Amino acid sequence: MVFNPKIRLLESNLVNQIAAGEVIERPAAVIKELVENSIDAGSTKIEVIIRDGGRTLIVVQDNGSGMSLENLELCVERHATSKLPDGDLFNINSLGFRGEALPSIGAVSRLTISTRSKESKDTGWQLAIAGGEKSAPTPVSHPIGTRIEVKDLFYATPARLKFLKTATTELSHSVDYLNRLAMAHPHIEFSLKDGERQVFHYPGLTKEDFNKRIEAILGKDFVQNSCVVQAQREGMSVSGITSLPTLNRSNATDQYLFVNNRPVKDKLLNGAVRAAYQDLLPGNRYPMLVLFVHISPEEVDINVHPAKAEVRFRDSGLVRGLLIASLKSALNQSAHETSSLIASSAIASFRSPVVGFPAPSAHTGTPSSSFKQSSFPQKASYPVIRQLSTYAMPDIEPEEINQATNEEPEQYRLGIAHAQIHSTYIIAETNESLIIVDQHAAHERLVYERFKAELADHGVSSQALLLPEVINLSTDEFQSITLHLEELKDFGLIIESFGNNAILVREIPALLEKVNTASLVRDLAHEINELGNTLSLKENLNEILSTMACHNSIRAGRKLSLLEMNALLRQMEQTPYSGQCNHGRPTYVELKRNEIEKLFGRR
C-alpha cells in the first residue's frame, strides 16, 4: 500500500456509516433506538412491526410529540438532538442524547420518517433518506406522532449484512430489547408484530397495576415466587422484586436491571446479584429479578458505550453494597437463612474429592453373592441406570436389607450404604471413613456420562410420553426450542410446535423418566438462548447434556431403598469423574476416621 501523507476529513456519509457500525449492530438495535425515541417523545402507545427478523422491514409507530418540519429536516443530521437543552452531559434524563441514531440508520438502510406535531395544524411531513442520500420533505396526511420505516437494513453495508443471523434469532433479540423497555415503562402500550403474527401486546397500565407488566413478560410464577426489594441510602434507591432461591434459571437472561429506568447489562450489577445469592444458589443457577436502581444523574455516567448498555458509577462500592444488602434483606425476610457457623466448621473437615475415580477398568472389587450381580456391571460398560428405579422400596425383603448392610465395606471404594437422610443424602461406611453422597449430584453425573455414550453411539434413546404434554412458553423460549426441533430429536426429545407459543412434547429421553417435562424444556430453552441460538446443539453438547442430566429421575428428596443406594454407589465407582457433578460441585464428601475422632476431641 502506498503511504499517502495527506489527511482529509471523511465525508459525512462515511462518518455516519462508521457510527452505524457501533450503534446499529443488528435489527434489534434499530428497534431499540427508534422505540427509545418514541418513549422520549412522550408516547403512550408504541407499535412495532418487523419482517424477516427486521432485515427487510422495521416499522415503529408512536403517538408522541411528533416533529415540526424544521426538526424533521434536522433530525437525520449527525449529532442533532433536542435532548441536551442545556448541553449538560452530566444531567441526562432522556434515553437518547447522542443524536446519532437516525443519521446512522439512514446511512445503512432506506429510511422514511412521517411525522406531525401538535403545533402543525394542517399537515404532517415525510422525509426519506436512503444510503445517506436525503430527499426533500413532502407533505403527507398523518396523525399526531411519528412513524419510522426502515427498509433493507444494511443494504448499503453488505459486510454487516453477512453477519445477520436467522430471522428467528434476530427476532428473539428484538423481543428481548423490547421487553426490557416495556418493563421500565408499564404505562405505555406496546405491541410487536412479526409480519401478520402478533408476538405480544401489552396494554398500558396504571400505577397500581404495574405488576401486570411483570407478569406479562416474566410470567405469574415469578411474581408469586418472589420477594419485594426496597432500600434507600444516600440519595440512591433500589426497588423491585427478586425470585426466591428455589425459582431459578440456568442463565441470567431473566434478570432485568435498570438504572434510572434505562435497561442495562452491567457487570457490576450482575456481580452484586450473584454475591447476594451466593450462599443460596449454586454458581450455575441464576435468580430472576426486576430491579430499578435510581440514583442522581450526576452520580452515573451512561455515556460509556454508544449503545448505552453499560454504565459507570462514581461510587461503585456504594451501589454494589446497597444492592447486595437490599437483596439479602429481602431474601432473609423470606426465611431463607444460610447454614450456621458451627455446621460449616464441621463440614470444613470433611474431605471432598477433587476428581473422581480412575477409568472403570481399574476397578477390581467383586460384589458378594447377596447382590444381584447382573445389576452391577463390572466391565467398562456404562451401567444401566434405569434399573435403579425398578428397585422400588416395597419389593425389598427384610433379609435383603440385612444382607446389604452385612456387606464387607473394604471391597468398595465408596463403602456400603447404611441409611439415607433428608431423602437427599446417602450415608455409607468404608473401613476407614464415613461417606456422605449427594444422591442427586451423583446421579446427575452418571446420567450425563450415559447420555454422552448414547449420543456417540446412535443418539439418545427416547421414550414416548403416555400423554403428550402441551407446554406454554414465553416468546423467547418458544423461539429457542422451535429453532432446534430437528436437532433435539438426536437428544431424545420429540417436540412439535403447537402454535401460539405452545409446544407439544411427544417423547423424552428414556433416562429421564418421571421428569418434570415443562421445567426441562424451559431450562433447555434458556440454555440454548444463552448459547446464542446460533451454533448447532451438537457443538454445545456438554451444556445441553448437562442441562438434561440435571433433570434426572433421582432428584433430591426422593426416598431410596438400600439396594438402590448401593447400586448408585457401585455405579459411581464405575463412572469416570464421578466425584463431581457436571457443575463442579462434589458428589460426595468423605470424613476419615481420625477426622471423626478429632471432631469428638479424641485426638
Name the DSSP letter for residue 441.
H
37 binds Mg ion (CB under 5 A): yes
CA-based torsion, 459, 460, 465, 469: positive or negative: negative
The neighbouring-strand residues paired with 150 are: 58, 111
154 binds, among ligand ADP, Mg ion, none (CB under 5 to 8 A by kind): none
Number of Cβ atoms within 10 Å of the Cβ of 592: 15
Find the shortest distance in angstroms from Cβ 116 to ligand ADP. 10
Find the shortest distance in angstroms from Cβ 115 to ligand ADP. 7
Torsion of CA 500, 28, 262, 258, to 10 degrees: 50
Cβ-closest residue to Mg ion? 96
Contact by Cβ (8 Å): 248, 288: yes
Find the shortest distance in angstroms from Cβ 80 to ligand ADP. 6
Cβ closest to ligand ADP, residue 215 vs residue 310: 310
Question: In which residue are the cell numbers 415503562 written?
Answer: 185
Q: Report 250-309 residues binding Mg ion (CB under 5 A).
A: none
Distance (Å, whole) CA 50 – CA 194: 5
96 binds Mg ion (CB under 5 A): yes
Find the shortest distance in angstroms from Cβ 294 to ligand ADP. 22
Distance (Å, whole) CA 505 – CA 469: 5
User: Assign residue 53 a region: left if phi > 0, alpha if psi is -120 to 50, beta otherwise?
Assistant: left
43 binds Mg ion (CB under 5 A): no
62 binds, among Mg ion, ligand ADP, none (CB under 5 to 8 A by kind): ligand ADP
Contact by Cβ (8 Å): 142, 54: no
Contact pattern for ligand ADP over residues 133 through 172, marking x by CB under 6 A: -------------x--------------------------
Find the shortest distance in angstroms from Cβ 30 to Mg ion. 11
Cβ closest to ligand ADP, residue 32 vs residue 328: 32
Find the shortest distance in angstroms from Cβ 204 to ligand ADP. 17
531 binds, among ligand ADP, Mg ion, none (CB under 5 to 8 A by kind): none
- Determine how β-strand 289-295 pairs with β-strand 255-259: parallel
101 binds Mg ion (CB under 5 A): yes
Count of residues in contact with Mg ion, rule CB under 5 A = 3
Cβ closest to ligand ADP, residue 81 vs residue 462: 81
Find the shortest distance in angstroms from Cβ 260 to ligand ADP. 16
20 binds ligand ADP (CB under 6 A): no
Helix (H, G, I), strand (E, B) or coil at 247: coil
Cβ closest to Mg ion, residue 37 vs residue 326: 37
Distance (Å, whole) CA 481 – CA 529: 9
Which of residues 45, 68, 73, 83 is near ligand ADP by CB under 6 A?
Answer: 83
Which of residues 13, 16, 17, 37 is near ligand ADP by CB under 6 A?
Answer: 37
The neighbouring-strand residues paired with 419 are: 427
Distance (Å, whole) CA 528 – CA 500: 20
Find the shortest distance in angstroms from Cβ 264 to ligand ADP. 17
Cell of 597: 475422632
* Phi, psi of 380, deg, nearest 5: -80, 35
Contact by Cβ (8 Å): 67, 57: no
Stretch that binds ligand ADP, among 2-10, 58-66, 184-192, 287-295 (CB under 6 A): 58-66
146 binds, among ligand ADP, Mg ion, none (CB under 5 to 8 A by kind): ligand ADP
Provide CB contacts within 8 A for 8, sequence distance 6+: none
306 binds ligand ADP (CB under 6 A): no
Find the shortest distance in angstroms from Cβ 68 to ligand ADP. 10
Cβ closest to ligand ADP, residue 76 vs residue 293: 76
Measuring CA to CA, how many Å separate 534 from each of 54, 166, 311, 540?
Answer: 17, 8, 28, 11
Find the shortest distance in angstroms from Cβ 227 to ligand ADP. 36
Stretch that binds Mg ion, among 32-40, 127-135, 196-204, 330-338 (CB under 5 A): 32-40
* Phi, psi of 375, deg, nearest 5: -80, -10
Nearest residue to 302 (alpha-carbon basis) of 31, 89, 99: 89
Distance (Å, whole) CA 562 – CA 569: 11
Find the shortest distance in angstroms from Cβ 201 to ligand ADP. 20
Nearest residue to 415 (alpha-carbon basis) of 569, 189, 188, 204: 569
Torsion of CA 542, 269, 344, 409, to 10 degrees: 0
Stretch that binds Mg ion, among 93-101, 232-240, 296-304, 358-366 (CB under 5 A): 93-101
Find the shortest distance in angstroms from Cβ 307 to ligand ADP. 12
Distance (Å, whole) CA 500 – CA 588: 44
Residue 565, H or E segment: helix 562-574
Measuring CA to CA, how many Å separate 402 from each of 118, 287, 370, 399, 413?
Answer: 88, 44, 10, 5, 20
Name the DSSP letter for residue 360.
G
Find the shortest distance in angstroms from Cβ 40 to Mg ion. 7
CA-based torsion, 421, 424, 430, 434: positive or negative: negative
Cβ closest to Mg ion, residue 101 vs residue 436: 101
Find the shortest distance in angstroms from Cβ 113 to ligand ADP. 8
Contact pattern for ligand ADP over residues 89 through 128, marking x by CB under 6 A: -------xxxxxxx--------------------------
Contact pattern for ligand ADP over residues 63 through 82, marking x by CB under 6 A: -xxxx---x---x----xxx
19 binds Mg ion (CB under 5 A): no
83 binds, among ligand ADP, Mg ion, none (CB under 5 to 8 A by kind): ligand ADP
Cβ closest to ligand ADP, residue 190 vs residue 451: 190
The neighbouring-strand residues paired with 124 are: 140
Alpha-carbon Rg for the chain, nearest whole angstrom, is 30
Sites of contact with ligand ADP (CB under 6 A):
33, 37-38, 41, 62, 64-67, 71, 75, 80-83, 96-102, 146
Sites of contact with Mg ion (CB under 5 A):
37, 96, 101
